[in-house]
Structure 1
Amino acid sequence: MEPEIAALASSAGTTVVTLMATDAWQRLREGIASLWRCEQAERAEAVAAELDATREDLLVAIAAGDQDVEGELQAEWQGRIRRFLTARPEVAEDLRRLLNEFGPGSETAPAGTQHATASGRARIYQAGRDQHISER
């Protein structure tokens, strides 16, 4: 189960930090805090406060043009969520359901979210606007 937990934690940490600067943030924040509230009630308020502090850090970094902070915050939350899931593996399915609410194609996905899957030697080219490809 450990590789599965690590993959889920990685996805969750990335999603949490990515959505911090979007309109979907409050709903996701409440969902994450609710998971903690159900499993570790004594830590739920602290986790909610840490989510808020992380969001503030992210917004300050975005305003300052510091692109490294987002990755650092994602790694931090990936670790927290991995530790939480390791201690409470029964929460994994609830977390998956929560993340699916915010995934590509959902009404809460951030505007401009793109999703693609390739296999074999396939190539994917995605653009939000103009795209110029000059392959031979």
Structure 2
Amino acid sequence: MGPEIAELARTAGTTMVTLMAGQAWESARDGLVSLWQRFQPGRAEVVGSELEATREDLLLARESGDTGTEAELTDEWQARVRRLLLAQPEVADELRRILAELSPELPERQPSVDVRLRAEVSGSGRVYQAGRDQHITER
């Protein structure tokens, strides 16, 4: 499997799970199911059901603050798409088209910020640094 196929599978899995909790969910689901209908019609109905179940799992995880589940679901869909691409490489062009149609629906990503911290301590001094949240409990 080439790096291009692996990256396409990663992008597709991430996009699907990201859109599951938003308003573009139905378009995303329909696009992916149509892909299976075209290239593996015997699995299309199962894939549709699995997408629905994944969405339910994702919504419950987000409700309860479970961040690990979203990562697991993303990994699962990346693997499924990768297997489809390996079995039928001709799926790639159609998948790229579907992802291009869905890309305006993706939420804006927060820009990354480069944080550089520097400290000097002498004697018995202490330094606490964090690029984000920090909780210190001293007794």
Q: Give the Å deviation of 1:34.
A: 0.1
1:1-136 matches, cutoff 5 A: 2-103=2-103, 106=104, 108-110=105-107, 113-114=108-109, 124-125=112-113
Q: Give the Å deviation of 1:101.
A: 1.5
TM-score, normalised to structure 1's length? 0.79
Q: Give the Å deviation of 1:102.
A: 2.0
Q: Which residue type is aligned with residue 87 of structure 1? A: A
In 2, the alpha carbon distance for the partners of 1:10 and 1:46 equals 21
Q: Secondary structure at the match of 1:56?
A: helix
Gaps (5+ residues) in structure 2?
A: 119-139
In 1, the alpha carbon distance for the partners of 2:14 and 2:48 equals 17
Structure 1 runs (4+) greater than 6 angstroms displaced: 133-136
TM-score, normalised to structure 2's length? 0.77
Alignment RMSD (CA, Å): 2.0
Q: Secondary structure at the match of 2:90?
A: helix
Please give the per-residue CA displacement for 1:12-45, whole angstroms capped at 9, x wherever unaligned.
Answer: 1011001100000100100000000001111000
Q: Secondary structure at the match of 1:89?
A: coil
Q: Give the Å deviation of 1:135.
A: 7.6
Equivalent residues, number: 118
% same residue: 53
In 2, the alpha carbon distance for the partners of 1:84 and 1:125 equals 36
